[in-house]
């Protein structure tokens, strides 16, 4: 006899205590040999995946609302992606696109150039990860402008190599022990309207978070003519899934143009349909000069891209390259990913995301520890606080919810000090979205009881 739960293969089903016996063995071996720098929030040992479902090594089934950290945009092992990878692997696995030509890399570059916000010509550089896309953007911005400094935002995450780490303003532990990272980065508060650094409300806001750049930085410490670019996430990801108001980007563009500074939009997490538009910048009519992509671009194959205005990407042969960047198999996966996104998944992200957000929007009224619910499409953050009036952060409660969800077969992760991040594959159904919201609600009910 099957229980109702067992026949719903699209929903979680747990058959062992967690972690199960096989998972325990692997975790023990991992602990002896893997880099201790990795952070694991709970003991999930993945074995295989399909759509929004992950099966662990003990036969437990989980609903994945992490998408491998916003990566498997088309779901786990989408048949069309698997087929694209197989076909390309049987034809050509590698030839180094920086030294030779092959067609699918050009196909993908043309596609990204066409999709990028704005109607000016674009050029594309390929790397293998988000941080490499950022490093290439840093180098291009310096090369093109002849300027050395950058502006970035507190709470931002741009990567962990020495240049991108210099831009990252997320957690000081990420910087600890690594000084000096790339110098010349000046951080200012992000447009986080729930926690306005200037004590303003949306009614009284005069976009102080952009004004401070001109009124304080440029006046006291940073000559604007030395600033190459402003790096900004259109929706702050690791910082807590923070969505700024449109006027933030309007003011940023005005300021950047005034001083001939480039805007580099880091769409590594917010891009590729996650927010219900192909790129989050489109929600704000932001036309970036440079845009960085990775994560969701190839459904789990390692690929990063930097898309820049053609007149900005004016560096010479030899200025920058990567052996593996634009690997043909990853490129094939990216082309298949974009096809699926355009066919239906960007729309699905918008539709299911709006449904989820409407339900989650009730939570601050229902639960005193939910301070804020925000997001676009399937990039949704829930901020957990000790008290709605003081907004005191409650990282311990956030961690507890994360763990409780895991014990109920729902995979979620944190973002920022005290927010829950919902970043499921863009293939999720309304039923799966409802199941996730019900599970989180059950955890909140237990904690607030």
Q: What is the binding site for ligand PLP (CB under 6 A)? A: 129-131, 134, 157-159, 233, 237-238, 266, 268-269, 294
Between 244 and 409, name the residue whose CB sits nearer to ligand PLP.
244
- Residues near 415 by Cβ (< 8 Å), separated by ≥ 6? 237, 238, 239, 240, 241, 381, 421
- DSSP single-letter state for residue 66: S
Closest separation in Å from C-beta 249 to ligand PLP: 16
- The least distance separating ligand PLP from the CB of residue 301, rounded to whole angstroms, comes to 12
CB 409 → ligand PLP: shortest distance, Å? 25
Of 151, 159, 379, whose CA–CA distance to 264 is shortest?
A: 151
Strand partners, 304: 127
**Residue 275 or 432 having the CB closest to ligand PLP:** 275
Q: Which residue is nearest to ligand PLP (CB)?
A: 130
Question: Quick one: 423 or 432, whose CB is closer to ligand PLP?
Answer: 423
The SS3 of residue 124 is strand
Cα separation of 159 and 115, whole Å? 24
Q: In terms of CB distance, is 269 or 332 closer to ligand PLP?
A: 269
Write down the least CB distance from residue 6 to ligand PLP, Å.
35
Between 131 and 136, CB nearer to ligand PLP: 131
How far is the C-alpha of 368 from the C-alpha of 50, rounded, in Å? 36
At closest approach, how far in Å is the CB of 146 from ligand PLP? 25
Q: Strand (E) positions, 316-369? A: none
Residues 6+ apart with CB under 8 A from 326: 97, 98, 105, 108, 126, 303
CB of 309 to ligand PLP, least distance (A): 20
Q: Which is closer to ligand PLP, CB of 269 or CB of 322?
A: 269
Whichever of 131 and 418 has its CB closer to ligand PLP, that residue is 131
**DSSP code of residue 315:** P
**Pair 76, 54: CB distance under 8 Å:** yes
Give the nearest distance from C-beta 269 to ligand PLP in angstroms. Answer: 4
Nearest C-alpha neighbor of 418 from the set 390, 376, 378:
390
């Amino acid at each position: 006899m099957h229980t109702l739960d067992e026949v719903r293969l699209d929903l979680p089903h747990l058959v062992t205590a967690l972690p199960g016996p096989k998972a325990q063995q692997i975790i023990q071996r991992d602990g002896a040999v893997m880099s201790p720098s990795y952070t694991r929030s709970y003991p999930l040992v993945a074995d295989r995946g399909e759509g929004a479902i992950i099966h662990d090594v003990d036969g437990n089934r989980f609903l994945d609302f992490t998408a491998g950290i916003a990566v498997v945009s088309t779901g786990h092992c989408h048949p069309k992606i698997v087929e694209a990878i197989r076909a390309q692997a049987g034809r050509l696995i590698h030839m180094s696109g920086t030294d030779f030509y092959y067609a699918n890399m050009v196909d993908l570059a043309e596609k990204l150039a066409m999709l990028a916000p704005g109607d000016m010509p674009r050029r594309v550089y390929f790397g293998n990860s988000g941080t490499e896309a950022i490093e290439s953007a840093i180098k291009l911005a310096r090369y093109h402008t002849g300027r050395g400094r950058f502006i970035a935002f507190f709470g931002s995450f741009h990567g962990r190599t020495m240049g991108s780490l210099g831009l990252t303003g997320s957690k000081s532990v990420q910087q600890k022990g690594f000084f000096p990272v790339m110098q010349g980065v000046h951080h200012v508060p992000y447009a986080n309207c729930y926690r306005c650094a200037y004590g303003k409300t949306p009614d009284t806001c005069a976009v102080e978070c952009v004004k401070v750049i001109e009124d304080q930085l440029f006046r006291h410490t940073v000559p604007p003519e030395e600033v190459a670019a402003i790096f900004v996430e259109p929706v702050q990801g690791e910082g807590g899934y923070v969505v700024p108001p449109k006027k933030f980007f309007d003011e940023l563009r005005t300021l950047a143009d005034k001083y001939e500074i480039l805007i580099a939009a880091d769409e590594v997490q917010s891009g590729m349909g996650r927010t219900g538009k192909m790129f989050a910048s489109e929600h704000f009519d932001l036309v970036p000069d440079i845009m960085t992509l990775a994560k969701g671009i190839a459904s789990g194959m390692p690929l990063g891209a930097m898309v820049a205005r053609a007149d900005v990407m004016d560096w010479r042969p030899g200025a920058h390259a990567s052996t593996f960047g634009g690997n043909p198999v990853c490129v094939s996966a990216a082309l298949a990913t974009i096809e699926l996104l355009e066919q239906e998944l960007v729309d699905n992200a918008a539709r299911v995301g709006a449904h989820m957000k409407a339900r989650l929007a009730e939570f601050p009224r229902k639960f005193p520890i939910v301070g804020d619910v925000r997001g676009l499409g399937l990039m949704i953050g829930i901020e957990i606080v000790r008290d709605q009036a003081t907004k005191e952060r409650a990282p311990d409660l956030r961690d507890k919810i994360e763990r409780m969800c895991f014990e109920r077969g729902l995979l979620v992760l944190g973002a920022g000090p005290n927010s829950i991040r919902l970043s499921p594959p863009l293939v999720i159904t309304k039923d799966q979205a409802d199941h996730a919201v019900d599970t989180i609600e059950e955890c909140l009910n237990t904690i607030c009881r």
